[in-house]
Amino acid sequence: MHPILIDLGFIELPTYGVLLAVGLVLGLWTARLRAQKAGLPPEKVVDFGVWVVLGGLLGGKVLLVVTDPSYLASFQGLLSLLRAGGVFYGGLLGALLLAVVLVRRWRLPFWPLADSLAPSVALGHFFGRLGCFFAGCCYGASCHAPWAVVFSDPKAAAISGTPLGVPLHPTQLYEAAFNLANYAFLAWLFRKSVQGGLGGQVLGFYLVNYGVARFVIEFFRGDADRGFVLGGLLSTSQAIALLMVPVGVLLTIRGFRRART
């Protein structure tokens, strides 16, 4: 684990930020290629993607504060908030809200646009979870399996409260592996669907796949700042997943129907 990739003394380059930037660039590049195949204006899609990413970053910070208000209790907490990555579901909701606004303003066809971007979201999330692993955030619960990981960098403990010297589930790697597999599946589905028509089926499968995977992975998480609902029965992310999956199923069914008609 290396939260800081480069430390020059007067400035630090966080590993999480570098991997997040790599994911953003590759996500936008692959979205541009798919936009061309879907008959969308590539430059406009890239601009759209940049704005939506900014909305996602803001949404992730907002939900992080909602689940852990202590970030606003002190100046040091605000600095930690800037360094922290944010809650992915908050980022997804923030991105979707801004996407709706931009689609209406720029008069873009929503379903082909959403299906073109969905695989890129999974790809970007893959790199984001690798960044979480290097930073030590989103860590897992205690684990004594052969693949358990032990974090040791004091900076991770100071920024994210990562337990040091304790074997933990590598939940960041669980989710990274899933997102990479999900990207491969969604990219394949896009290629199969683009000729017959994009009606939201790729986005629908993304919501279903990620919602199910995240619900399961949450049982192995150990960080408390993700928030809980129903008296601690479910984490905030699990509650959102319970809404995400049926919406995804509906979009998938309607998407294939739109493609047929």
Binding site membership: which residues?
A: 129
In angstroms, the Cα distances linking 226 to 112, 149, 158, 217 are 33, 20, 17, 13
**Are 20 and 131 contacting, i.e. CB atoms less than 8 angstroms apart?**
yes
Write out the two tokens for 62: 């907002």
Task: Return d(Cα 212, Cα 30) in angstroms, integer.
Answer: 25
Closest residue by Cα to residue 134 from 78, 176, 196: 176
Residue type at position 156: A
Count of Cβ atoms closer than 10 Å to residue 76 Cβ: 10
Residue-wise burial string across 152-166, b where 16 or more C-beta atoms lie within 10 A, e elsewhere: ebebbbebbebbeee
Phi, psi of 144 (to 5 degrees): -120, 20
DSSP state string for 178-235: HHHHHHHHHHHHHHHHTTT--SSHHHHHHHHHHHHHHHHHGGGB--GGG-EEGGGTEE
Kind and range of the H or E element at 4?
Answer: strand 4-7
Q: What share of the chain is helix, strand, coil (3-state, %, to 5)?
A: 70, 5, 20
